[in-house]
Amino acid sequence: MRSGRLGARDFGKPLDVFVNCRSNIEQSKASAAANAAYFLQHLRDYRESIASIDTYRTLHDFISKKVKGVNDLLDIGNGGVFDYDVSQVGRVTAVDLFLGDLPAEIVAQYFPANAKLTAGSALAIPEDACRYDMVLMVMLLHHLTGKNWRSSWLNACQALKEAWRVLKPEGRLLVVESCVPTWFFHLEKPSLWLLSRVTESLFSHPITLQFPPEMIANELRSQFGAVQISAIPKGKFVLQFGLKTPSFLTPIRVFAFEARKGRTRRE
């Protein structure tokens, strides 16, 4: 499946329901452990799903065009999967919680020679400031769940701040994220605790919390200034809680957020 032209859109002012990111930043230990265990145990299945499902093939084509020619790329929350043509990039540093635990034979089989694997958290990236030409986050933010929706949002904001920190001046950030409408987010917010219990009972996939695109766009504006937002069309199927799901059954939409770091920090 080939993606059509992705139209950029501009979201307005932040809605009253949204909060700024200031304090209490901590991904819950249970969330971090669940994410690391899940993706380590399901690496092969996850890679096969990403390679075969039409929505993710579209994402692969889109991201590959964006990273082409980048010399030094940081892929945060890599998940053991490269959602793009790695041969188009000079060097890739992949960061995720479990990458330091991969057996040598898995690394040799699945990871390209120009990729360096680093164990680390998106909330405290183990890299120096102003290091990378481009930072990539693919389907990461909704995995950074805390004890409630506010702490989850603060985690997402912290990850974006860390991306800004490690980017070189004039470096680019690309965030590709599954988002939900505001009305659905209103339903998610008070029910996160219950959803986490139901998810743990029915699925092996850890709990996630997806945000409206306006929240992500406005937070990026506060840090980077101008942001370009593109809606990426869904195919017939997506992954939901790690399961192949018909797209019409879920309200999620996929967006790409692109920003560039200036030479001085915006206040």
Query: What pLDDT score was predicted for residue 146?
Result: 87
Query: What pLDDT score was predicted for residue 266?
Result: 53
Domain tally, the chain? 1
For residue 119, tell me if it sits in a domain. Answer: yes
For residue 108, tell me if it sits in a domain. Answer: yes
Mean per-residue pLDDT over the chain, rounded: 83
pLDDT over 50 (residue 173): yes
CA 194 to mean position of chain CA atoms: 24
* pLDDT, mean of residues 93-103: 89
Where do runs of H (alpha helix) occur along 10-103? 29-41, 43-52, 54-67
pLDDT digits (tens, 9 = 90+) for 105-122: 888 888 999 999 999 999
| Distance of alpha carbon 89 from alpha carbon 82, whole angstroms | 12
Q: What percent of the chain has pLDDT over 70?
A: 78
For residue 89, tell me if it sits in a domain. Answer: yes
pLDDT over 90 (residue 257): yes
pLDDT over 60 (residue 38): no
For residue 64, tell me if it sits in a domain. Answer: yes
For residue 8, tell me if it sits in a domain. Answer: no
For residue 87, tell me if it sits in a domain. Answer: yes
Domain enclosing residue 161, as ranges: 22-235+243-260
**Which residues are within 8 A (CB) of 174 and not within 5 positions of it... i.e. 6 or more apart?**
63, 66, 67, 134, 135, 136, 137, 256, 257, 258
Least confident of 176-180, 185-189, 216-220: 185-189
Query: What pLDDT score was predicted for residue 60?
Result: 96
Decide: 167 and 173 in contact? Cβ < 8 Å. Answer: yes
- Compute how many other C-beta atoms are within 10 angstroms of the C-beta atom of residue 108: 10
pLDDT over 90 (residue 44): no
pLDDT over 70 (residue 200): no
| Distance of alpha carbon 43 from alpha carbon 47, whole angstroms | 6
Pairing of the two strands 8-9 and 227-232: antiparallel
Give 173 or 7, the one with higher predicted confidence: 173
For residue 17, tell me if it sits in a domain. Answer: no
The CATH number of the domain holding residue 112 is: 3.40.50.150
| Distance of alpha carbon 34 from alpha carbon 192, whole angstroms | 16
pLDDT band at 4 (very low <50, low <70, confident <90, very high): very low
pLDDT band at 101 (very low <50, low <70, confident <90, very high): confident
For residue 56, tell me if it sits in a domain. Answer: yes
